[in-house]
Structure 1
Amino acid sequence: MDGILPLWKEKGFTSHDCVSKARGMLRTKKIGHTGTLDPDVEGVLPLCIGKATKIVPFLTDTEKVYEAEVTVGRSTETEDASGAIIEKEVVNKCPSILEIKDILQRFKGEVTQIPPMYSAVKVKGKRLYQYARDGEEVERPVRRVHIKEIGLNEDSVTFTNEELLFKLNVTCSKGTYIRTLCVDIGKALGFPAHMSSLIRLETGGIDREKCFTFEQVQELVDKGSAMDAILPISVGLTHLNDFPINNDERFVFEHGQVLPKPPNVTNDPFVVKCKGEVIAIYQQHPSKPDKIKPIRVF
């Protein structure tokens, strides 16, 4: 079984839980996930199976689309709803829709983020959440991420005379901390804030409509139709350029040979396909500008 299981992860599961559960259902060990989702987060979690595990880094590196709920008036130690409250301030006046939209647009484009202490980022070989659990504060690396789109769900704006809640849709690069984005938006509004819920709606062109829950996967397994839930490897590589070849050229690409660089090939990785089948992923040779070399061979 080679391909991508477009899983709709439900709340309560870690990404590792999902891999373990899928291994049992599909009776195969070679499965990898394409980006960690916290247990409180639901949404699109593609699982790569068999040969598709070779594209995990490429699918992980794609744009993501999220729906996040921001609660303004309280901040937490984890920057989400699971953490203890560390600051609280009454929101005594509701900003207008226009004011909120104006604030959101300040975060469009390249932004600087400091990862939360409760995150898996490593500092000196130790994950930040391990420092946090030990009560240690360490200097965190600054990272730059890209927010392609950010928009307010106007119907979601709720004001309770103490707190302000609203939902936003975000299209962003790999590595973006939506929790931190919500906190920073709160600061721009002048109040403590945290991310009260998060749904991942899309990753690498795989959206909610393509996804299956574990219950639906089990139903297909029981019918002997598990492959009906599996997407081809090519679906996880739609963000890369295609390089079609014919059968006569297939052998050299299948065997990962270093080859002369074809005309019109850029420095970006590209997908070599024969009659629609993914054969390999190639890139320009790092030390030989007139050559191309394989990154992955299938």
Structure 2
Amino acid sequence: MNEYNGILPLYKPRGMTSHDCVFRLRKLLHFKKIGHTGTLDPQVDGVLVLCLGRATRVAEFLLDYGKTYQGVIALGTATTTEDASGEITAEQVVEEPIRRTAVETVLASMRGPIEQITPLYSAVKVNGRKLYEYARAGIPVEPPIRHVTIYDLKLLNPIPNYKEQIAFEVSCSKGTYVRTLAKDIGSKLGYPAHLQTLTRIKAGPFPVEACFTFAQIESLVEKDTFQEALRPLEQALSQMEKWTVDGMIEEQIRHGAVLPLPESFDDRPHAVYNSKGQCLAIYQIHPEHSDRIKPVKVLI
């Protein structure tokens, strides 16, 4: 059996869950140690970052990376799920086109830190039950508030007025519900709305152009060259704070040592490298000793 280690930027097709993608890849490769770095709804396509072998040890850190999406908002119709998969809950005819300046003003108001009401059709738990379980059973529940950050939000439509659809691109922090963002944009424009389509075009350092489709992966597997699709673990950690050490400290890190706090450290996790550019471990400030750092993950 082949042993694979690295990061696979996969182009997830619509209609598949993230778990479906992992399951299919395991069958293709006959290799079980595969995990994903954050789910994509079945109706959303685009970048899904998978970790194989040794790289599964850093999957939890990749969850924190920001994401970029392109999507289309449908004005005039609200749904139970806030996207096209739900049942219609409200309708209003958009009789007059909305001026581009009005749409841009709304988008500008939503950049930066914002609050979102978690959608009822989501897997977030309240009192031990998932929100969608309450929704399906018709049981009233107070959904939690999320604090997220919208780094950028812009129009894609090259027209001066908007009537039934708004195409947009958003860069946002982890935990952002883009379907809720779409619904809220419509509300600020005075109409019910839902997210019609969505594509993730970037996750952390991986753009959609770097992704492999299942057809490409199948071709590589047939040629026994699948390893060419894998990216080094270090590329996945490239957006994390970095600390490079000498040979003596490297040996201590290999044994999981607690170390003195370097001047360059802050309270974020740091990827620790040797002089050859190999990532040795993830370290952070010790929770009980602020003058020391401890390993969160040793990777060698």
TM-score (structure 2 length as normaliser): 0.95
Conserved 8 A contact 1:156-1:165: no
The aligned residue for residue 190 of structure 1 is: 190
TM superposition shift of 1:72 = 0.6
Please list the CA deviations of residues 20-61 of structure 1 after superposition, one character each: whole Å capped at 9, or x if unmatched. 011111221111111111111000000011121111121111
Structure 1, unaligned stretches of length 5 or more? Answer: none
Partner-residue secondary structure (3-state), 1:276: coil
Conserved 8 A contact 1:157-1:164: no
Kindly provide the amino acid, as one letter, of the partner of residue 110 in structure 2: F
Partner-residue secondary structure (3-state), 1:252: helix
Change in CA separation of 1:289 and 1:228 when aligned onto 2, cut-off 3 Å: same
In structure 2, C-alpha distance between the alignment counterparts of 1:236 and 1:131, rounded to whole Å: 37
Conserved 8 A contact 1:118-1:129: yes
Conserved 8 A contact 2:98-2:161: no
The aligned residue for residue 169 of structure 1 is: 169
TM-score (structure 1 length as normaliser): 0.96
* Equivalent pairs, count: 295
TM superposition shift of 1:276 = 1.0
Please list the CA deviations of residues 164-221 of structure 1 after superposition, one character each: whole Å capped at 9, or x if unmatched. 1011100000000000000000000001000000000001110111100011011111
1, 5, 8: which one pairs with 1:2? 5
TM superposition shift of 1:295 = 0.5
TM superposition shift of 1:158 = 7.5
Structure 2, unaligned stretches of length 5 or more? Answer: none
Aligned residue runs from structure 1 range 101-120, under 5 A: 101-120=104-123
Please list the CA deviations of residues 131-184 of structure 1 after superposition, one character each: whole Å capped at 9, or x if unmatched. 11212221111111000000001327885xxx5101110000000000000000
TM superposition shift of 1:250 = 1.8
Conserved 8 A contact 2:99-2:161: no
The aligned residue for residue 282 of structure 1 is: 283
TM superposition shift of 1:241 = 1.4
In structure 2, C-alpha distance between the alignment counterparts of 1:46 and 1:213, rounded to whole Å: 12
Runs of 4+ in 1 over 4 A off after TM superposition: 156-159
In structure 1, C-alpha distance between the alignment counterparts of 2:92 and 2:12, rounded to whole Å: 34
The aligned residue for residue 207 of structure 1 is: 207
- Shifted more, 132-141 versus 72-81: the winner is 132-141
The aligned residue for residue 52 of structure 2 is: 49
Conserved 8 A contact 2:71-2:195: yes
Partner-residue secondary structure (3-state), 1:154: coil
In structure 2, C-alpha distance between the alignment counterparts of 1:35 and 1:265, rounded to whole Å: 27
Change in CA separation of 1:157 and 1:4 when aligned onto 2, cut-off 3 Å: farther
The aligned residue for residue 132 of structure 2 is: 129
Please list the CA deviations of residues 235-274 of structure 1 after superposition, one character each: whole Å capped at 9, or x if unmatched. 1111211111233322211221111112222221111111
Partner-residue secondary structure (3-state), 1:149: strand
Partner-residue secondary structure (3-state), 1:182: helix
2:72 matched to 1:72? no
Kindly provide the amino acid, as one letter, of the partner of residue 253 in structure 1: I
Q: Percent identity?
A: 44
The aligned residue for residue 146 of structure 1 is: 149
CA RMSD of aligned residues (A): 1.3
Change in CA separation of 1:39 and 1:7 when aligned onto 2, cut-off 3 Å: same
In structure 2, C-alpha distance between the alignment counterparts of 1:178 and 1:137, rounded to whole Å: 23
